């Protein structure tokens, strides 16, 4: 090695370090190469070396969407230029496409949708991402291969993303249309089974059953679907009570469990009424306790009073 390394030497050094798995070292070499090229003015060499150093930023244990975005932007000026990255040489545009998909994946998974609209949007993005990976076929993804040392075929990522998409679409429609939500979860179950995720498939199956279940409200007689969403069970004494016996009619109570089904408006009306009564009762008890404390304080005398609160503490 000459005493003063040229930018090209530094590029070579970076790639050697990369091959040994020394990513921080590789990043330093690529950055030095970029600085060296820059001294001769911003040119393709500096952009090339800088892009490699930014790619090394993905070696951290959990790169964020922002880290991937930085890679996308650093690769943009390189167009179709072939990039030597560890054991492989690939077109900059191809690596950029990969980084862009991984950025989208991190971005969606980091978002926490809480409204039907947000669930719908997340579902649509996951579906698009799944299709994009499927279109890449068996092409090996370079970034996971480089940093996680595993061979991941692009299309192998598609089913899990499709499953997550169906779950999001299910959440989006669960209140308005629980039967549709059940269908989405049925699809999710099939995708999870395809990738051998038995526990997630089972969870989806349970949602299918809950969302798809329809009953008749004991109180108002409305037919509703979606257990835990649009109707709930209320404990009640229905033993021996004549329930509707029409053929094909939906159940309005559990024949064994001593519960009746209440649609959301009826159920919440019962709950609020009970809550009001409970608060009123609590207030009455508080008044009685305060009266009792007052009488105890007056009997305890000046010395004993300090140990007795004047009102019931909250």
Buried b (16+ CB within 10 A) or exposed e, 176-206: eebebbbbbbbbbbebbbeeebeebbebbbe
Name the segment binding Zn ion (CB under 5 A); options: 67-75, 89-97, 214-222, 247-255: 214-222
Residue 263 within binding range of Zn ion, rule CB under 5 A: yes
C-alpha–C-alpha distance, residues 161 and 192, integer Å? 10
Least distance to Zn ion, CB of residue 294, Å? 46
Site for Zn ion, residues 96 to 135, rule: CB under 5 A = none
Residue 266 within binding range of Zn ion, rule CB under 5 A: yes
C-alpha–C-alpha distance, residues 290 and 124, integer Å? 59
CA quadruple 204, 205, 206, 212: dihedral positive or negative?
positive
Is residue 220 helix, strand or coil?
coil
Is residue 237 helix, strand or coil?
coil
C-alpha–C-alpha distance, residues 54 and 63, integer Å? 12
Least distance to Zn ion, CB of residue 213, Å? 16
Name the segment binding Zn ion (CB under 5 A); options: 20-28, 138-146, 212-220, 282-290: 212-220
C-alpha–C-alpha distance, residues 33 and 53, integer Å? 9
CB-CB contact of 104 with 84 (8 Å): no
Name the segment binding Zn ion (CB under 5 A); options: 173-181, 196-204, 232-240, 262-270: 262-270
Least distance to Zn ion, CB of residue 180, Å? 22
Q: Smaller CB distance to Zn ion: residue 208 or 266?
A: 266
Q: Smaller CB distance to Zn ion: residue 153 or 259?
A: 259
Least distance to Zn ion, CB of residue 73, Å? 55
DSSP letter for 141, please. P
Residue 219 within binding range of Zn ion, rule CB under 5 A: yes
Least distance to Zn ion, CB of residue 230, Å? 10
Least distance to Zn ion, CB of residue 261, Å? 9
Residues touching Zn ion: how many (CB under 5 A)?
A: 5
Residue of the chain from 33, 102, 217, 225 that contacts Zn ion (CB under 5 A): 217
By CB neighbour count within 10 A (0-12 exposed, 13-18 middle, 19+ buried), where does 61 fall? exposed
Least distance to Zn ion, CB of residue 215, Å? 10
Name the segment binding Zn ion (CB under 5 A); options: 2-10, 105-113, 124-132, 220-228: 220-228
Question: Which one, of 299, 301, 181, lies nearest residue 230 by Cα?
Answer: 181
Q: Smaller CB distance to Zn ion: residue 83 or 224?
A: 224
Residue 220 within binding range of Zn ion, rule CB under 5 A: yes
Least distance to Zn ion, CB of residue 285, Å? 32
Taking CA atoms, 302 is separated from 86, 123, 152, 297, 307, in Å, by: 86, 70, 81, 8, 10
Name the segment binding Zn ion (CB under 5 A); options: 29-37, 83-91, 211-219, 283-291: 211-219
Site for Zn ion, residues 150 to 179, rule: CB under 5 A = none
By CB neighbour count within 10 A (0-12 exposed, 13-18 middle, 19+ buried), where does 233 fall? middle
Interface residues with Zn ion (CB under 5 A) are 217, 219-220, 263, 266
């Amino acid at each position: 090695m000459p005493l003063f390394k040229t930018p090209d030497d530094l590029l070579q050094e970076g790639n050697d370090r990369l091959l040994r798995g020394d990513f921080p070292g590789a990043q330093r070499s690529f950055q030095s190469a970029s600085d060296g090229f820059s001294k001769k003015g911003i040119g393709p060499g500096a952009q090339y070396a800088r892009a490699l150093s930014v790619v090394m930023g993905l070696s951290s244990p959990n790169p964020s969407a922002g880290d991937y975005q930085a890679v996308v932007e650093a690769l943009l000026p390189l167009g179709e230029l072939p990039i030597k990255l560890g054991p492989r040489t690939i077109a900059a545009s191809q690596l950029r496409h990969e980084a862009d998909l991984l950025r989208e994946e991190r971005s969606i998974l980091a978002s926490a949708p809480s409204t039907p609209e947000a669930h719908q949007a997340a579902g649509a993005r996951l579906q698009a991402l799944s299709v994009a990976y499927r279109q890449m076929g068996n092409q090996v993804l370079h970034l996971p291969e480089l940093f996680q040392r595993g061979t991941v075929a692009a299309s192998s990522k598609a089913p899990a993303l499709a499953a997550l998409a169906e779950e999001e679409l299910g959440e989006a429609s669960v209140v308005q249309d629980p039967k549709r939500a059940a269908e989405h979860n049925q699809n999710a179950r099939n995708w999870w089974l395809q990738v051998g995720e038995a526990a997630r498939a089972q969870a989806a199956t349970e949602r299918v059953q809950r969302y798809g279940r329809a009953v008749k409200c004991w109180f108002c007689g409305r037919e509703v679907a979606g257990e835990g969403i649009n109707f709930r069970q209320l404990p009640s004494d229905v033993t021996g009570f004549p329930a509707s016996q029409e053929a094909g009619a939906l159940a309005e109570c559990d024949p064994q469990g001593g519960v009746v089904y209440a649609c959301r408006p009826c159920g919440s009306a019962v709950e609020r009424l009970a809550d009001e009564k409970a608060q009123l009762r609590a207030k009455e008890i508080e008044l009685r306790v305060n009266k009792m404390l007052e009488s105890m304080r007056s009997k305890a005398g000046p010395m004993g009073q300090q140990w007795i609160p004047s009102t019931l503490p909250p």
